[in-house]
Amino acid sequence: MSLPVETIAGSALIITLAYTVFGLSGFGSSMTAVPLLAHLLPLRMVVPMMLLFDLLAGLIVGLKNRSAVDLREVSRLAPFLLAGMGLGVTLLVQAPERVLILVLGIFVLSYSAWSLLVRKQPKPIATGWSLPFGVFGGIFTALFGTGGPIYTIYLARRIHDARALRASISILMVFTGTARLALFTTAGLYQEDEVLLLAVLLLPCAMLGLFVGSTLNRRLPGHRVVKITWVILIVGGVSLVKRGLGF
């Protein structure tokens, strides 16, 4: 592998952190990892690699809690997620890297700031909101693997049981991951040998993070760890915006 040792070591730390967050909250792995990995690796390498990890993590968590999944809400979102993902893959393949970096930076910065500042209890919303949340969640899922927080906003306002919410998010990750795997393979994003080699090399880091996060989930208030992560992501988001603007 031609990647520098420091790049691989930095990627390993980021992956471990990202899946610790996933183990704590049930989502947020790509939201944490992709903005930070984008400083070390090309986006067209980062996004397909993270998909493989997300698919495996979603299977582990989702199958473990499959009896708690809210199938009505999952099936309501699914077709709109697929439509958004079709648009997102087209943009990922055709859009310039600099534009994608800028969009990712703005998205991460906005969502992280919102997550830190908004403290109100989520209010229930109508089922009609599944369309915009599903489409935009699908677009950002295909582009960067960061669509989970978007459709989680919808699910959190429709599902009030914490276990059912976590299980439903994980099953949707498996659903979107399987669809993305087919789309990415068709688009030729796995033709680069280094993507699969790096994924194999970093897989133990993802599994370690998932184990640590799941353990902490039973012992610590996860929201504190997640808030620290949002602060880190704000810094990363500002840096990505600067890169996208050419500074």
pLDDT single digits (tens) 137-154? 999 888 887 787 788 888
Q: Of the candidates 188, 163, 159, 227, which has an alpha carbon nearest to the alpha carbon of residue 45?
A: 188
Look up the pTM and report it: 0.75
For the stretch 46-58, pLDDT in tens is 888 998 888 888 7
**CA 5 → CA 10, 11, 47, 62, 91, distances in Å?**
9, 10, 20, 34, 31
pLDDT over 70, % of the chain:
88
Range in 16-30, 86-100, 123-137 with the lowest mean pLDDT: 16-30
| Banded model confidence at residue 109, pLDDT cuts 50, 70, 90 | confident
40-70 burial code (b ≥16 CB/10 A, e <16): bbebbbbbbbbbbbbbbbbbbbbeebeebbb
Q: Are 201 and 195 contacting, i.e. CB atoms less than 8 angstroms apart?
A: no
Instruction: Confirm if 84 and 183 have CB atoms less than 8 A apart.
Output: no
Q: What is the pLDDT of residues 162-171, one digit of tens each?
A: 778 877 887 8
* Overall average pLDDT of the 125-140 stretch: 91
